[in-house]
Amino acid sequence: MKQAIAILDSGVGGLTVVREVMRQLPREEIIYFGDTARAPYGPRDPQEVRQFTREIVAYLMQYDPKMIVIACNTATAVALDDIRAMVDVPVVGVIHPGARAAIKITRSNRIGVIGTVGTIRSDAYRIALESISPMVEVYSLACPDFVPLVEQGLYRSEEALHVVERSLEPLRGLPLDCLILGCTHYPFLADSISQVMGNDVRLISSAEETAREISTILYQTGRLERTVELPVHRFFCSGQPVTFQTIARQWLGNQIEVCPVVWQVPQIS
């Protein structure tokens, strides 16, 4: 029986990971859950984020996935170990893949990181980067106004460019050569971020490296999908299904059906 890769996020941001998984692993079936009713996670208390993540994972486990992907940097920072202890399938986060991608690209060892308040407060990227290369200099900045723009579908608007310009002002002129988009929502704003930071600063999204890690784990465990039939993907959200569907169609280019979720969450003993 075909088993899916379960991917979760606080909202639509994890669709950036979904798109890359679809590109690299086109035979794999995806079950996606965006917690759009409770986004954003960044300003929330870490214990609350851990509880929300546990609830979503418990919901997804009823579909018997072969892997859980926490496609939310805030949830990865505070809940990754908790979820790994909770389930008996591989669990992948997005922080270490993003850090590895930046280390591969940087030439100056000066790396910027932007993320939610929760992700930046956790210092998870600095820890991950320094665990790979102790020579790096890390410049971190919280950008709390970015996620609401994306969740409202305003990421291509003139307002978005103004918000990005204002938010990134503390990083402009610093001697960094790459910038980690430390929130899976931020690639939606990549054009505006690149315009503000300039061509000399490479933008790093964790999506490509995360998909590569998923592929490696599935290959090593003998669980890569081999069937030739096209997969059927399922997308769930906890609120605002019309907005979610619109954004998903724009980003993924697929006609997908979105199912609102009632929070009657199965428990894992």
Domain edge (last residue) among 182, 204, 226: 204
The verdict on whether residue 185 carries a ligand-binding annotation is: yes
Provide the 3-class DSSP secondary structure of residue 44. Answer: coil
Domain edge (last residue) among 164, 180, 204: 204
- Residue 158 corresponds to which tokens in the numbers above? 């003139």
The answer to whether residue 265 sits within a structural domain is no
Overall domain count for the chain: 2
The answer to whether residue 268 sits within a structural domain is no
Instruction: Give, as one character, the DSSP assignment of residue 268.
Output: -
Q: Are 215 and 24 in contact (CB under 8 A)?
A: yes
Lookup result for tokens 């990971």? 17
Instruction: Give, as one character, the DSSP assignment of residue 253.
Output: -
The verdict on whether residue 74 carries a ligand-binding annotation is: yes
The answer to whether residue 267 sits within a structural domain is no
Provide the 3-class DSSP secondary structure of residue 110. Answer: strand
Residue 233 neighbours by CB distance under 10 Å:
21
* Residue 117: domain span: 95-204
The verdict on whether residue 41 carries a ligand-binding annotation is: yes
Together in a domain, 186 and 99:
yes
Class of residue 101 by CB neighbours under 10 A (exposed 0-12, middle 13-18, buried 19+): buried
Together in a domain, 12 and 23:
yes
The predicted pLDDT at position 258 comes to 53
- Residue 222 corresponds to which tokens in the numbers above? 């003998």
Cα–Cα distance measured from residue 138 to residue 14, given in angstroms and rounded to the nearest whole number: 24
Residues with active-site annotation: 72, 183
> Is the bond leading into 46 cis (omega within 30 degrees of zero)?
no
The verdict on whether residue 10 carries a ligand-binding annotation is: yes
The overall pTM is greater than 0.85: yes
The predicted pLDDT at position 246 comes to 87
Domain edge (last residue) among 161, 185, 204: 204
Cα–Cα distance measured from residue 130 to residue 127, given in angstroms and rounded to the nearest whole number: 5
pLDDT tens by residue, the chain, 269 residues = 689 999 999 999 999 999 999 999 989 999 999 999 999 999 999 999 999 999 999 999 999 999 999 999 999 999 999 999 999 999 999 999 999 999 999 999 999 999 999 999 999 999 999 999 999 999 999 999 999 999 999 999 999 999 999 999 999 999 999 999 999 999 999 999 999 999 999 999 999 999 999 999 999 999 999 988 888 888 899 988 889 888 988 898 765 655 443 333 334 33
**What is the dihedral sign for C-alpha 252, 31, 245, 212?**
negative
| CATH number of the domain bearing residue 106 | 3.40.50.1860
Amino acid letter, 212? R
In the chain, where do the E strands start and end?
5-9, 30-34, 67-70, 91-92, 110-115, 137-142, 178-182, 202-204, 234-237, 258-260
* Through-space distance between the first and last CA atoms of the chain, rounded to whole angstroms: 24
